[in-house]
Structure 1
Amino acid sequence: MHRRFLAPSLFLLLGLGLTWVAYSPGLHGGFLFDDFANLPALGVTGPTDDWLAFLRYITSGTADPTGRPLTLLTFLLDAQNWPASPFPFKRTNLIFHLLNGILLYALLAQLGRLLGYDERQSRTAALLGTALWLLHPLLVSTTLYIVQREAMLPATCTLVGLLLWLHGRQLLTQGKTATGMAWSVLGLGGFTLLGMLAKANGVLLPIFALLIEAVALAPRHPVQHGRARQTHRLALLACGTAPSLIILGYLSWTGLHSVLAGGPVGFRPWSIGQRLLTEPRVLLDYLQLLWLPRPFSSGLFNDQYVASTSWLQPITTLPAILAVFVLIGLAWRQRRRYPALALAILFYFAGQLLESTSIPLELYFEHRNYLPALLMFWPLGLWLADIRSLRLLKVALMLVLPLGLAWMTHARAELWGNVHSQALLWAKINPDSARAQTNAAQIEMQAGRPQAAIRRLEKLLVDQPSQVQLAFNLIGARCMVGGITATDLAAAKLAMQGTPNTGTLFTHWFERTLPVTISGECPGLTLQGLLELIDTGLENPKLSAAGARQDLTYLRGKIALAQGRPDAALADFTRALDLQVRPGIALEAAATLGAAGYPSHGLHLLDHYEAVSGNVMKPGFGMPWLHAWVLEHQHYWPHELDHLRRQLALDARAGSMNTSRHTSPAGTLD
């Protein structure tokens, strides 16, 4: 028994070591894209160094109704404050990737035995399937993209949940009803909930279990004992069938409702109907990357992906739809004859249900393949492990395929470890992506090559005039080479007129640009010019949402402060607060007034907040509500506001005394 497990264990360790070596160059890369939108939560209310701060942080997530607290919890392994170093985050991601490889090997070996393969073939196939998944270069854009730990943890929970459920099911086949039921419910119920706390696609675990049951288990290993059979059916109904029907029903209702409503969704340039037409093309692109791997692909920036507007526009739309349905149909029809292949195909498409159907997410992201591709290479491993025919060829492939993938992954990881080369290559691969070109331009500016950034941004801005990220960064590059022109400002205004969403981009750019404007370091860029940009945005009907208008109105107040007009600044800050009454913006605005030397105005703003605090925005469903409850229970906002009020009052009193001294008659002061 010991010798039988020794060789597979050694080969598994070898595969894990090879994976670490392949990924190691990428561990020294930087933060990217959505990292900056999520990781700063580590320090929003100060360092996470006590239980009060921990509760504020762990409930601060806004993605999904759950807020993904399990993912947030694991980030504390790497840092407890912000800013932080990216290396610990990337290292932990890689450790989770290796852990998932170990769990995947255990699952594939178990499935191989359940399908009737002998021990040697089951373990060899599991090793190969795991190695090809671990070393696949496409998964670099999940493993080395720090924030996508939220895509990795649902895979961890899915693997553990399936293993526990299979253990419980085996106990039920032996007639051990109570313990079998407990393990089954823990696996399917408990780890579905845990997976959802990492990311919403953790909810797909019940569907995966039903597929394994239908394809692999029910035809070969039925639960036959009367009471155990009833228990198994009950567990599968409660923790498998019912959640699966809820998921499918929700996706169907969302899709139907959105298609009937028509028109674009929010700030997306496409409708749900167009998204549903597009996603089959996306899925086939994913499958091509999985089965025809290459070292480099489009990476994180896929905003240039063209949505399908009809069945034949573009022409690949209908063939892609048919291909997806044919693959699913053939897999289901051939599940008895080719169960492993059928299960891999059905598992993959089931894994794409949430992110590639009717929920209005962005069209394309490579990290969406991490969980769905878990079983993808297992059928190939089973074929290679059967060395009764083509022995030399199969043995050669067992060596060449993992090593070839390791080489590609290493090359890709080297790119992820070099922010400059990464940005330039992604810009070359994605010439029409505003995000890719902006990212490359920012890297060029940091490297002291603003002229290259200007050429890059000007070229794409001609075709995409409403892309504010291009127009704003062009101003930044122009400032580095001597100043902006009226043409540059006009391009920025045009972008603000047509953009459907500025997100946090304009705010971050403004915070960097305002000091440069005040100091006069950028000829041609004035406070009045910045104000015109903001006012243009306020006139844009696509930016009519209260949140967008609040951000822009608040920035008007900052310009008024820079112009030495505190009364106007107070008026703008007050209008911004009234658009969405939140204690956070009241605190920030009052502190900004105080820091600028106008503590009395800050006190007036706090007085106004107290008057309108009854209209404070109600938190959304799920984690936002819990976060608001935590803050209320800790008296966080009253404490922060009272502290600021006391400081502003002291500053106002000190300012008044200084003024009194300067205006007193000569000789009256000792």
Structure 2
Amino acid sequence: MYLHERSPQLHVITMPTPIGRSLLPRLFIALVIALVAALPFTAGLPGDFVFDDIPSIVNNDAIKLQELNGESLVNVATAPQISGSLRALPTLTFALDFWRSGHLDPAAFKSTNILIHALTACALAWFFHALLLTAGVKAGRARWAAVALSLAWALHPLQVSSVLYVVQRMQTLGTLFLVLALLAYLQARRAHLAGRSGRTGLLAAVLMWVVAMGCKEDSVLFPVYALALELTVLGFGAADVALARRLRRGYLAASVAGIVVYALILVPNYWHWEAYPARDFSSIERLLTQARVLCMYLWQIIVPMPSHMPFYYDWLQPSRGLLQPWTTLPSMLVVLALVVLAWRLRARWPLFSLGLLLFFGAHLITSNVIGLELAFEHRNHFALIGAVLALGSLLARAAVALRMPTWAQVVICVGMLSVLCGGLVLRARDWATPYAFAVASAKLAPSSGRAWFGLCLFQLEAGGGAVAGNPKLDQAIDACGRGAQDAPYALNSFVTLMVLKTLRGDVTSEDWARFQQRLETVNMNWENRRAPLAFSHHARNGVALDKQQMLKAFATLSRRVPIAPFNSASLGYFIMNDLDEPDQAMPYFLVAVGSANPLDPFPWRLADELREKNRPDLAAEIMRHASATRDAGDTAVQAGD
């Protein structure tokens, strides 16, 4: 399966032909690719919704489509989404999955993800075939090499957390349309090399790019991928010399414009010398850490063992300096060396260089200055295309250097695909049930607060919830205890541990003291900000939590981070009504009143409730605060006029 690469200037004489010589063989090969790409993932059905699936799908009323008509679909597409305003197409498909299944059936949603993955594998085989022919690979070898490369991408165990993690349909749909856009662009450029217009292909590429942008924002990187094609396989070539000149100048201008936008807009808007809001790392620390993250991704790709892929990465600590941890500097050198290698070999080894450029290009947004979480596996969904191409090129060159016969190459290729498929099935099985997923997550990421909290919640729900007599209470406490101990940066497990030990009747003052100390010192990311609010939920459901300890926790929380007005009002009502402490509730009410719209009746309703509790003094304070807030707003408006 040798991918012989010729000089880009020699590509004019050979035009790509479709896989197969007629429609029937092409359809048969496409069906085989789709089935091989899809079937291993069925081991992960039905599974359950996890992590970001909950807010984006389970708790998202906008996707719960009851009637299939134009108005309903428009309402779904235009409804505000917490995941992003440019993701209308995946949101529509979520709504259609809900409509066809009649409820939130994980298997229905995941089967659509698997179908999308199978279609992407077929499109990728088509793209690889055209790419290999463009690089000068002989037609027969290109046909089967394209199939092998697309299956290597489709069967990699790293894909499990993109395909079976329902909400990542945003990523997988984006990849599908990006591959189609690249295919259309490549066919258009092949037409240019042959002296034809290529206008239809370019229009199709732009259309597919626009659709990809409607799936996920990182699809904006399509021009980067097209530039990588030009720098390597295409070489800005065209039969029309004037067109070739315009291509070079156009890409040069676009590159300069991109650098200017990055330097003058993105960096000033996203750079943080101190920690990002709700993060425990700065921009410099994030960039240092991403070198380690990229090397971790490459390790997971090259050594595709499920044990290297834990799904949760909240345990990953940021790099605080070039040698903190010591792997930071070596990782930076590895990344730099690979980028330099890709640049220097772009003419001699175009496919290898293209693969590296696609891999690193796909991480330009997620491994940059925007304050995203440090690592997620689905960020490799498109990047894996580049990695597979680079590795395939290296293996093919090694086979030629060793003078390996064709039959041996085929055997090795089939063996490698079988290993990938086996690893994928093993990993997919961990997604087949909530219990298997929770246990595997905790086992593979023993320092992950999210993993232990997930296992704790599973045990708790399996036994009937946070109620006395829950037969799974001891197991849930063990899981939360491990989370509180092994993930000292997280609060969720610790909060739940206090609740469950109160239920069991063996919570101690020392337990509460350790929790309060953790609350005082832990970094207040978005999960930790919400965690203490769970005390009010469980107390309302009958758990006899220590009132003074809860009040102390709420006071610490409000001192350390601003509480959103709605949450502040809810907390105030809990303290006033459930804990019977209206005085203690006032600071939270004042925050909510100070943020209320002048026309909002909330302050007046609250004042009436306080009077009913025989606290006219507190009611008067609420009204004074509301009036002061209204007057300040009027003054600001007048100043603006």
Calculate the TM-score normalised by the size of structure 1.
0.78
- Of residues 435, 456, 471 in structure 1, which corresponds to 2:450? 435
Aligned to 2:323: 312
Deviation at 1:20, TM superposition (A): 2.2
Aligned to 2:435: 420
Aligned to 1:114: 134
Q: Is the 8 A contact 1:196 1:202 kept in 2?
A: yes
- Of residues 24, 30, 44 in structure 2, which corresponds to 1:26? 44
Aligned to 1:15: 33
* Structural mapping, 1:284-299, within 5 Å: 284-299=295-310
Q: Distance in 2 between matches of 1:35 and 1:590?
A: 36
Deviation at 1:48, TM superposition (A): 6.3
Q: Distance in 1 between matches of 2:282 and 2:75?
A: 38
Q: Is the 8 A contact 2:49 2:166 kept in 1?
A: yes
- Is the aligned partner of 1:194 residue 2:198? no
Deviation at 1:531, TM superposition (A): 3.2
Q: Distance in 2 between matches of 1:572 and 1:260?
A: 32
One-letter amino acid of the counterpart of residue 347, structure 2 = R
CA gap 1:504/1:529 in 2 versus in 1, 3 angstroms: same
Q: Is the 8 A contact 1:557 1:568 kept in 2?
A: no
Q: Which moved more, 1:482-491 or 1:432-441?
A: 482-491
Deviation at 1:429, TM superposition (A): 2.0
CA gap 1:309/1:500 in 2 versus in 1, 3 angstroms: closer
- Of residues 362, 371, 395 in structure 2, which corresponds to 1:351? 362
CA gap 1:3/1:145 in 2 versus in 1, 3 angstroms: closer
CA gap 1:313/1:465 in 2 versus in 1, 3 angstroms: closer
Deviations 1:185-223 (A, max 9, x none): 441x4333332322221011101101101211127xx21
Deviations 1:283-330 (A, max 9, x none): 111111111111333432111112222212222211111111111111
One-letter amino acid of the counterpart of residue 197, structure 1 = G
The Cα RMSD (Å) is: 4.0
- Of residues 561, 567, 579 in structure 2, which corresponds to 1:551? 567
SS at match of 2:353: helix
Q: Which moved more, 1:563-572 or 1:412-421?
A: 563-572
Q: Is the 8 A contact 1:254 1:359 kept in 2?
A: no
- Of residues 141, 146, 149 in structure 2, which corresponds to 1:126? 146
Aligned to 1:667: none
Q: Is the 8 A contact 1:108 1:126 kept in 2?
A: yes
One-letter amino acid of the counterpart of residue 325, structure 2 = P
Deviations 1:512-549 (A, max 9, x none): x5465346x434x1455433322221122xx13x63x6
Aligned to 1:658: none
Q: Distance in 1 between matches of 2:386 and 2:284?
A: 30
Deviations 1:438-493 (A, max 9, x none): 11222232344332333343345356555221221112322442363333333443
- Is the aligned partner of 1:517 residue 2:535? no
- Of residues 510, 533, 549 in structure 2, which corresponds to 1:487? 510
SS at match of 1:77: helix
Deviations 1:225-250 (A, max 9, x none): 2565567568xx3xx65555454444
SS at match of 1:355: coil
Deviation at 1:157, TM superposition (A): 2.0
Deviation at 1:62, TM superposition (A): 4.1
CA gap 1:252/1:290 in 2 versus in 1, 3 angstroms: farther
Calculate the TM-score normalised by the size of structure 2.
0.81
* Structural mapping, 1:172-251, within 5 Å: 172-177=192-197, 180-187=198-205, 189-218=206-235, 222-225=237-240, 228-229=243-244, 237=250, 244-251=255-262
Q: Which moved more, 1:225-234 or 1:137-146?
A: 225-234
Aligned to 1:620: none
Deviation at 1:107, TM superposition (A): 0.6
One-letter amino acid of the counterpart of residue 352, structure 2 = L
Q: Distance in 1 between matches of 2:517 and 2:601?
A: 31
Q: Is the 8 A contact 1:208 1:350 kept in 2?
A: yes
Q: Distance in 1 between matches of 2:338 and 2:347?
A: 15
- Is the aligned partner of 1:576 residue 2:592? yes
* Structural mapping, 1:461-540, within 5 Å: 461-462=484-485, 465=488, 467-482=490-505, 484-501=507-524, 503=526, 510=533, 514=536, 516-518=538-540, 521-523=542-544, 525-540=545-560
- Is the aligned partner of 1:446 residue 2:461? yes
CA gap 1:335/1:557 in 2 versus in 1, 3 angstroms: same
Aligned to 2:468: none
Deviations 1:408-444 (A, max 9, x none): 1111111111221221222122222211121122223
Q: Which moved more, 1:345-354 or 1:558-567?
A: 558-567
Q: Could you list the runs of 5+ residues in structure 1 that have no partner in the other structure?
A: 617-670
- Is the aligned partner of 1:398 residue 2:413? yes
* Structural mapping, 1:622-641, within 5 Å: none
* Structural mapping, 1:27-42, within 5 Å: 27-40=45-58, 42=60
CA gap 1:465/1:114 in 2 versus in 1, 3 angstroms: closer
Q: Is the 8 A contact 1:46 1:53 kept in 2?
A: no
Aligned to 2:90: 71
Q: Distance in 1 between matches of 2:603 and 2:142?
A: 61
One-letter amino acid of the counterpart of residue 79, structure 1 = F
Q: Is the 8 A contact 2:19 2:26 kept in 1?
A: no
Q: Distance in 1 between matches of 2:303 and 2:154?
A: 16
SS at match of 2:375: coil
Q: Is the 8 A contact 1:41 1:60 kept in 2?
A: no
Q: Which moved more, 1:97-106 or 1:525-534?
A: 525-534
The sequence identity of aligned pairs, in percent, is 24
Aligned to 2:155: 135
CA gap 1:305/1:613 in 2 versus in 1, 3 angstroms: farther
Q: Distance in 1 between matches of 2:264 and 2:305?
A: 38
Aligned to 2:466: none
Q: Which moved more, 1:251-260 or 1:452-461?
A: 251-260
SS at match of 1:148: helix
Deviation at 1:393, TM superposition (A): 1.9
Deviation at 1:571, TM superposition (A): 8.7
